[in-house]
Every structure is written in C-alpha cells, then in structure tokens.
A and B are shown apart, each in its own frame.
Chain A
C-alpha cells in the first residue's frame, strides 16, 4: 500500500480528525496522528491484512526545542510481508514541569518490543506512556534526576554527594 492509500484507510476507519497532518518535505513522508488514539491506529495497521506492519523498528522520543515546548514520539513501522516502511508521529505540548510529563498511550501491547523503546524514551526524554506494564528507567540508574536528552537539561554537579568533574 502506498502512503496515500494508508492515509485513506485510516481516515475511513477512524474519521478525518485522526490524521492531524503530514510531513512530505523529506525523503520519508510521515503521518501525524491524534496522540490520544495512537495505540488504536497502531493495532489497526498491524492487523489489517493490507498493511500488516508487524515489525516495529524503533520509537524515538523527541524534544523539539525550548522555544516550542513541544514533545513527540516517532514510530518507525516496517512490514515484513510487504517490505514497506511507515513513519508515524505524535505531538503534545508540555511546559516542562517535572510533575506533569508529556504523555502518550503505550503501544507495548501491540508490539512487545515497544516495552523497552518506551522505557528508553521515558528514561532519556521524559515521556510518560500510559498503561505501560513496567515503566522504569532503563539506561540510567533508578535514582537519576532529570532527563538528559531534553534541550534544557543541565548536567548534574553531584551524584549522591560525589562531585562530578
């Protein structure tokens, strides 16, 4: 299925507002999905026999810069039978308050590999995934403070009372 056909398929299934936009500037077009319903869309794209995106390559958490205060997650899907690829994006605004993390529904029930990818996005960018079975930090220690891949991250001076230099 081509990119346009996938877009039509999603609109027919979920309605017009499911697609909030698309990016066509680069070599790989991307669909921007309503962030509340990303899990449903992923499940449909995985199970529909015309798309069959059964392989999730990666989920990347992105901080789009201090001025924009926008966070996103980028899903790279791949279909093994059709040998096609698809990029999905979700965005949300957030004021960088530590107590209210930007949040998206988890897709770890769609692809099990999303479990670790979402943990990584939580760990490094500070994106919360709702209904994730085990959202602990993965690469950094459990007691780490802050999210290093955020653009406003300041390198800690002390770790457990030990000066870092």
Chain B
C-alpha cells in the first residue's frame, strides 16, 4: 500500500476523544453533485476538511486520446455541463491555433461564438447564484434564477438543437448559423432580463440575512488564491483584476467593451463569500453588455446573408503539425485549459489534458475552512461554485 494512504488511514483511526468524523456527501444537496467531504469536527467546529473527489470520473483524457479532435467536442460539453459553449469554445480555439486557421474564421462566426458563450455564462452564473441562495436557506431566488435561465436554455436549444450539451461550436466554424429571428428574440430577452436582475439584487444581494451568512465568512486572501491556482470569480473576488478575456485577448473580445468586476470587501473583509457572490452578479451585468454589443454587430455590419455558410472553413482533415499546445480561456468558473500533444501524423491527439477550474478552486477549501462552523462550510462551498462534471472529468 502507498505510504500516503497508510498515513491517511492512521490519521483517521487515531482521533482525539473530542474529535468526530462527519461525512458530507456524496449524496448531499449542498455539495452540488457527488462530492464527498470528510470533516473532522470538534463539536460544531470544523477542524479539518478532506475532500474526496472522483465520483463522476468519466475518463475525459482517455476518451480524448482515442478520438479525433472533432469527436472530442461533445465530450468537452460534458465537462462543465453548465457552461458547455464555453468549454467547446476553448477546445476549438486550441485546435484552430494548432492548425493555424484561427485568423481565417469569419467575423460573424466569432461574434456568434462570443454571443452564445456569454449567454451560457449568464446561465451558469444564474445557477451559481440560485443554488447559493438555497444553500443559505433562501428558496425564492433559486426559482427566479431557474425561471430566467430557462429562457436562455430555450434560445440555445433553438440554435443548437440541444438544451444543455450543445456541440454547436465546431473546429473552423459552427454547426449551423443562428436561426432566423434569434437576434431579435435575444434582444427581447435582454430587455426582459435587466429589471429581473434588479429584483434579484433587492431580494438576495442586499438581504441582511444573506449578508450575515456570507460576509466575513471564508475569507480567501489574494496570495493564497494565487498559490492554490484559483481563477475566475474566486480570484477576482479576492480583489485581483485577472480575466483571460482581457489578458489573452482571444476571439473578438478586444473589440468589445466590458469591465472586469472585482471584490471590494464592501460588506466585510476582502475575499469573503459575499465578494465572490457579488463578482458573479456583476459579471452577469457585464455579459449583458457584451451580448448587446454582439447583437448590434450581428444585426448591422455582420448581418446574415443567404450565401453565408458557417461550415465553409471546416477543415477536411484535422491534422495539426507535431507540437504541444496549451490553450486557456475564461470560463464561468475560471481558467479552463486544454493541453494537446499532437504527433503530426494522425487526427487523434497523443495526449489531451483538461485543466479544470473547479478542480483548482476546490483544492483551496481545506485551507480556508479550518476552524469554521459546519453551517459556514456550506456557505464557503457554495461560494466556490463547483461543477463536479469538470472537477472529476
């Protein structure tokens, strides 16, 4: 037996008289999926958290090195299944850069990609906010968020044919052009959604009970966040302006105006649960701004034409030159990376590794939840916003 495993078993078998082990999960609603947290508690105080992950391991890496690049796209959808568009966008960008065709993609396709990605980002953040409310004990925001998210799901289903796992963004193009009338309906949604967000803020963000449960809880200092590889709203919640859409300037993001919301410690300390929550709320506002700009371009200078074929640039054979390539992109949860090793001979990569943001974000949990109350641990876990699909891959 492995030495570390033996040490772990000794630790578990030699508890102090006041210590007790509590298993949270794998089937527990607050763990947002099949995650098991082993808590060593002293009364109501959490002394140590040991996360056990892998219950949803579906061998993404192994599948990817046995399938062609195009065949892997549906598997990327199933990583972070709440942000499928963003996953496939990152994967497709990586392959396009390896092939050297990333500059030839028509502008209309790039704008459609950004549009659907930002719609998906809103949907993902709505789930994060809604389920966070329910973790804390607020039921209404959950229902409101799901109601609004359903509009986005319907729109994306209209475009791609599927409600959550789209397979819409392809290497060199798209599955189909947007359906006729999509832009107008999207505009209607934006007009509908803006006042709803204000309602949500009144209901949850500035709710005194919610603030009491989240402010000053689970404080994550910036240096700890960086050392643990936290990214996305986790890192920005700690006050660092780090957004790969601005850093790497991929796709058409350089042409689009938007701000990067960061945590400011308004309700308590910088980097607490409330800050992370607030970053997500603010990002929804920014995503709406991006969507509006995309819609304007798509309805004016990049208008659909009868001869526009989103599959025109699709390469016949996807054989990148022999090389290694690491692509990263800003997902709703943080930095999603794909590491490819192409051998230059076949359509099947030699190795693909997915660097999942949730995996790194969760790894900080044992560090920031030492000595908290069990009830606060739920608040901290909810504020990390994990998706087990990409955590376990």
Interface set of A (CB-CB < 8 Å, partner B):
23, 25-28, 30, 54-58, 60, 62-63, 65, 74, 76, 80, 83, 85, 87, 111-113, 115-116, 120, 124, 132-142, 148-149
Contacts and interface: CB of A to CB of B under 8 A. Distances in A.
B353 A112 contact: no
B363 A55 contact: no
B228 A112 contact: yes
Nearest to A78: B328
B107 interface: no
B227 A57 contact: no
Interface of B: 2-5, 7-8, 53-54, 57, 59, 61-62, 65, 97-98, 224, 226-229, 240, 242, 247, 321-326, 328, 335, 337, 339, 341, 350-351, 353, 355, 359-360, 363-364, 367, 392-393
Given A115-B363, A140-B57, A141-B54, A62 B351 contact: yes
A124 B393 CA distance: 12
Given A27-B323, A139-B57, A58 B5 contact: no
Contacts of A139: 53-54, 57, 392-393
A63 B224 CA distance: 32
Interface SS majority for chain B? mixed
A25 B353 contact: no
- Per DSSP, chain A at the interface is loop
Contacts of B62: 148-149
9 interchain residue pairs of minimum CB distance:
A26-B323, A113-B229, A58-B355, A139-B54, A60-B353, A116-B363, A135-B4, A112-B227, A139-B57
Contacts, number: 108
Given A26-B323, A116-B360, A58 B57 contact: no
Contact of A136 (B8, B323, B392): B8
Nearest to A115: B363
Contacts of B229: 55-57, 111-113
A74 B321 contact: no
Contacts of B339: 58, 60, 74, 76
A80 B242 contact: yes
Contact of A57 (B53, B65, B326): B326
Contacts of A113: 227-229, 360, 363
Given A54-B226, A139-B392, A76 B57 contact: no
A107 B242 CA distance: 24
